[in-house]
Structure 1
Amino acid sequence: MADQKILVALDQTSASNLAFDYALKLAQSNQSQIRLVYCLTVNPYENLGAMIDAGVGLHSSTEVQQKEEAAHLQRAQEAHMWLEQLRIAALDCGIEADFICETADPSRFICQVADDWNADLVVVGNSGKEGLKKLILGSVSQYVANHAPCKVVVVPSDHSSEVEFSTHLIS
């Protein structure tokens, strides 16, 4: 049986562009539908300077919070526009597509959406993090490959033709 429901995890990197292209080709050959998933993340250290300034009274905490909320709203709007462009590209190829954009931990959220949607396959890109960076930041693709409730394809960011398949299923 062909994979009829393909979830594509995206993060606006070249790795996720390759994952989208891979999923699109796979969906065309299997007449599948795709669901694009993008997670906005909250980086608590992004505005550390402004928070420290607010803490010592140089700016009001309300002002800092309003700026953070406005920046988050801007990122959300940009993400929705990008996802809509990808959805239209899929539709132009004859592929039924929709998308989800949430503020969440990407690793867990991708697995949860795959489970809730009863995905047959998750396609995720691998940014190629290694060593200390991978240890500290973690790897979304590795987490998804180990925890998704369905098959997972990890598309490498180095444009090689090798993809990693994972059939780890939660029991």
Structure 2
Amino acid sequence: MGLTYKNILVAVDGSKQAAWAFKKAIEIAKRNDAKLFLTHVIDLRTFASVEAYDRTISERATEFAQELLESYKHDALEAGIKEVDFAIDYGSPKVKIAKDIAKKFDVDLIVCGATGMNAVERFFIGSVSEHIARYAPCDVMIIRTEKDEEVEEDV
């Protein structure tokens, strides 16, 4: 088994942290001449509290994901990555990414952002990256932004 990565997965959600993780994933993919897979998981539980839940909400979420991933795919190809693919999935992001998506694409590295911006997001998003690190079948790289480091120092 070599020390290069062949299939790299980066989880994106429209946040600054995910954009930073994406940049890092591009660098790693270029160095390893690897395929890059992008994913966005739509957590349907976030809509569960909406009164009279209707399909348009999940349709809008799917459209957002599609546009987000198309945009990231375009950027990755522009940056010189030869093979880029993406998947939209539904369910719990931490479970889907660590189990299903990593296996589906035979991923050997998952790259994800470290935290959200506020304490609540940091708790939830932190728990996502922590869960992925614990349960993924491959290496996981958790990317910190400069902003994360500033936040840590304030504590």
TM-score in terms of structure 1 length: 0.74
Q: Counterpart of 1:19?
A: 21
Aligned partners of 2:112, 2:5: CA distance in 1, in Å? 15
Unaligned segments of structure 2, at least 5 residues? 150-155
**2:128 is the alignment partner of 1:126:** no
Q: Do the aligned partners of 1:125 and 1:141 also contact (CA within 8 Å) in 2?
A: yes
Ranges of 4+ aligned residues in structure 1 off by more than 6 Å: 129-133
Aligned partners of 1:137, 1:13: CA distance in 2, in Å? 11
Aligned partners of 1:133, 1:18: CA distance in 2, in Å? 17
Residues 1:147 and 1:27: Cα distance change in structure 2 (over 3 Å)? same
More helix by share: 2
Q: Do the aligned partners of 2:107 and 2:138 also contact (CA within 8 Å) in 1?
A: yes
Q: Counterpart of 2:142?
A: 154
Q: Percent identity?
A: 26
Residues 1:127 and 1:82: Cα distance change in structure 2 (over 3 Å)? same
Q: Counterpart of 1:115?
A: 103
TM-aligned CA deviation for residue 116 of structure 1: 2.6
* Equivalent position to 1:88, from 56, 70, 74: 74
Aligned partners of 2:120, 2:13: CA distance in 1, in Å? 21
**Residue correspondences, number:** 144
Q: Counterpart of 2:62?
A: 76
* Equivalent position to 1:105, from 92, 105, 119: 92
Aligned partners of 1:133, 1:24: CA distance in 2, in Å? 25
TM-score in terms of structure 2 length: 0.82
Unaligned segments of structure 1, at least 5 residues? 52-63, 162-171
Q: Counterpart of 2:34?
A: 32
Q: Do the aligned partners of 2:10 and 2:110 also contact (CA within 8 Å) in 1?
A: yes
TM-aligned CA deviation for residue 157 of structure 1: 3.4
TM-aligned CA deviation for residue 20 of structure 1: 0.3
User: Larger deviation: 28-37 or 128-137?
Assistant: 128-137
Residue type matched to 1:5 in 2? Answer: N
